[in-house]
Amino acid sequence: MKEIALPPLPYAEDALAPVISAKTISYHYGKHHAGYIKALNGLISGTHYETLSLSEMVGLSRELNDPGIFNNAAQAWNHDFYWHSLAPAGKGGEPSAELLKAINESFGSLDNCKKALSQAATRQFGSGWAWLVAKGGKLLVESTGNADTPCRQQYVKPLLTIDVWEHAYYLDWQNNRAAYVKAIVDGHLNWSAASSRFASARDDWRCSNGSRP
């Protein structure tokens, strides 16, 4: 069996401080994220899942109503995507011209897009995630509860996410989720990564429309 490995963080544990402290990342990445990976490897051993990619496990386990596999696979996928949705202050770049055009068409402005993402994150009841996604050439903001993830949806391309499980922010912000979300949106979103994902999504849509080989 080839085990699912815990992906490395894209930056040092203290790179997002003081918004997200090294202590929070140590627990969040080293305990929670690693815990999902460990549990998932135990669950898939000797099953038909062990030959699949992580995203394939997410889709199949949802289709087969296999909550143990789904929850751990989806949380493993969500967390890796979350780490890459963030960047140290000043290192996240700006939306590409193509992405900014889509943002303006969908939300009216980048500020409105950030406001919609912040509201989705702040208003998500209980544990979950807020997402900026591309769907059919348009951008949407949505939220998912617990381990749910848009990566299981065909023709939906996640661009950014914000984790609003309490372990993502409670050590640094206590119960002030709104302040944590604002600090993330204002200074730590990885717009360069989102731009690359959006460009990839546009290529996929062009292929599906028959305009590219």
Peptide bond preceding 18: is omega within 30 degrees of 0, i.e. cis? yes
What is the domain class of 97-208 according to CATH? alpha beta
Q: Please tell me if the domain spanning 22-85 has the same topology as the one spanning 97-208.
A: no
pLDDT at 144: 97
Three-state secondary structure call for residue 37: helix
Which pair of structure tokens corresponds to residue 41?
């490897």
pLDDT at 1: 61
Q: What is the CATH number of domain 22-85?
A: 1.10.287.990
pLDDT at 201: 80
Measured CA to CA in angstroms, residue 99 lies from 60, 104, 159, 208 at distances of 31, 9, 10, 20
pLDDT along the chain (213 residues), means of 10: 90 98 98 98 95 93 96 98 97 97 97 98 97 92 96 86 98 98 98 95 46 25
Strands (E), the chain: 128-135, 138-145, 156-163
Q: For tokens 């080839």, name the residue.
A: 2
The helix (run of H) or strand (run of E) holding residue 145 is strand 138-145
- Indicate the domain borders of the chain: 22-85, 97-208
pLDDT at 203: 55
